[in-house]
Chains A and B, each alone.
Chain A
Amino acid sequence: MNALLEVRNVSRFFGGVKANVDVTFSVEPGIVLGLIGPNGAGKTTLFNCITGFYPPSRGDIFFDGQRINGFSPDKVCKLGMARTWQKVRPLAKLTVLENAVVGALCRTNSVAEAKEIAFEQLRVVRLDKRAGVLAGGLPIGERKKLELARVMATRPRMILLDEVMGGLNARESEEIIELILEVRQRGLTQVVIEHDMKAIVRTCTRIVVLNSGEKLAEGSPQEIVNDPRVMTAYLGDAGGAKA
């Protein structure tokens, strides 16, 4: 099967710091790929390289067969790859609806049409009742949902979610997990960074483990959970507690 996203031997250095070293994996259409690893493993750096916030120091990134190294973030988004942020970035002085409209304008020039698309996405994440509220006034759970609605409004072919469950309580996390599963059912490709192993096992088709910038393992959720290397690198050092 042709991969939608292909990451080939990607390295990213910041001066002497090796944030990513020779990372290779591919994402087939329709799957949910989990990207896990201890803090500082280089997950977010990899996201930043893929979405154009900085070019990889070495290696190549292909999206739908096209080499996208050095493409600007807006171009990457126009190609159909949209990302959320680990630290949520609501457009605070715009309303919830306007936030989603900004995303929707990626595919249309008509503000009226963008509003319709935006509202539809707000309904999907169940924020439609909050449409008129300023985004800066939302609690964290709703902010995370807004991030999701905003990227969905860009009508992407693939979304990259950077810890959309970080900082949420159990009930809120559950809602997000259900949203991810819903989106998965609709066939939208996803790459998910997450620390919560239970959420990862439930949502992902395949998992890639990063450690100190390198790919440590790749496999099905079952394989990863039973991999002793992953246990030491990732689960072991957290002492069994949720990271």
Chain B
Amino acid sequence: MKTLVACIVVALALAVVPLFIESPYALHIFILLFIAVALGESWNVLGGFAGQYSVGHSAWYGIGAYGAFILLQQKQIAPWFGVWVAVALSVIAALAVGWITFRLRGPYFVLASIAVAEIIRLLSLNTKDLTNGAEGILAADLPPLKFGNTVITDWISKTPYFYMGLAMALFCIAVNFFVKRSKLGYYLQAIREDQDAAHSLGIPPTFSKNAALAISAACTALVGSFAAFYIGFIEPNQVFGIDVSIQMVLIAIIGGIGTVAGPVLGAVILVLISEGLRTTVAQAHLLVYGVLVIVVILVMPEGFLGFISQRLRRKAATR
């Protein structure tokens, strides 16, 4: 209850931010943050709860991005409709892949997930008619969003992206919150802890993992198409590349895997570090970033959230 109130307060505080901050750069950082939160939470459903460490989530991200872009470019379907088609496509593709790869466990599943994302990346590079290959696609001008005859936004300022990003991040957090407390959530966590024991207690492992993957892929695709329209340009290596997948894994691991709040914390830390470094140490930012990530993982194997709660427990115990 207390946490719910706190969440609402934070969300409301964030909602008024664009009223006071006009700097596009500050808004840009917030939007990056929302994307990172949503990505981390999306991955967490499968990686955190079910313990299936997919390093191929760029596949669903990219299908979301390309799906919505191609529908707008070639069929003139507005993104706010096209996105849902892209999400559906991504779920269908994910279930087909899950049906095959969930026969594998542990590191073999990880390798398979990377392979699948690579296959889709290569496909997108080579189906030029559809994807424009390596040249990528520059977003067409977005049709203005109208309600009746009043134009709500023409998509020029960053403010509409800010609110959409915020809504998306909150949605992904809510998905995690409800999945964790649902029957499926218990099933997934049981599978993560011990698949055979779970199986013997009446849990169908493959079905449950596929359900988690479907939810995870749907959220990821949603974020993918939002990010694509925000950036305005996509190409195969950027959206289907392993960088996206690794970023999703890192956000969850650094924040605290398998928790609802963890990816939020991880996103804040990673976005701030990466932006901070980019503006201070310039070319060396990726190197420093990498070293920092290694240090964090070594010092806090349970993520920031686990680290903090462990400290609190120890403090309480010594008192």
Question: Which residues of A does B touch, CB under 8 Å?
Answer: 51, 53, 72-74, 77-78, 82-83, 85, 89-94, 98, 101-103, 105-106, 109, 111, 114, 150-151, 154
Interface segment, one of B181-189, B212-220, B279-287: B181-189
A72, A91, A151: the one contacting B194 at CB < 8 Å is A91
Give Cα A91–Cα B51 distance, bound, in whole angstroms.
13
Can you name 8 extra interface pairs (CB under 8 A) apart from A89-B196, A91-B189, A93-B189?
A53-B196, A53-B199, A73-B200, A74-B204, A77-B201, A78-B202, A94-B189, A103-B201
Q: Say whether, besides A83-B200, A106-B201, A111-B181, A89 and B194 are in contact (CB < 8 Å).
A: yes
Give Cα A41–Cα B310 distance, bound, in whole angstroms.
46
Q: How large is the interface on B (under 10, 10 to 19, 20 to 34, 35 or more residues)?
A: 20 to 34
Nearest CB on A from B130, distance (A): 40
Q: Say whether, besides A85-B197, A89-B194, A94-B189, A111 and B182 are in contact (CB < 8 Å).
A: yes
Whether B200 pairs with A102 at a CB distance below 8 angstroms is no
B300 at the interface (CB under 8 A from A): no
Instruction: Give B187-212 as 1s and 0s: 1 = Cβ < 8 Å from A's Cβ atoms.
Output: 10110111011111111110000000
Q: Say whether, besides A105-B183, A111-B182, A91 and B193 are in contact (CB < 8 Å).
A: yes
Whether A102 pairs with B199 at a CB distance below 8 angstroms is no
A72, A91, A114: the one contacting B190 at CB < 8 Å is A91
Whether A101 pairs with B186 at a CB distance below 8 angstroms is yes
Whether A102 pairs with B181 at a CB distance below 8 angstroms is no
Chain B residues near A51 (CB, 8 Å)?
A: 200
Give Cα A94–Cα B51 distance, bound, in whole angstroms.
13
Nearest CB on A from B194, distance (A): 5
Chain B residues near A78 (CB, 8 Å)?
A: 202
Whether B204 pairs with A102 at a CB distance below 8 angstroms is no
Chain B residues near A114 (CB, 8 Å)?
A: 183, 186
Q: Say whether, besides A93-B193, A94-B190, A111 and B183 are in contact (CB < 8 Å).
A: yes
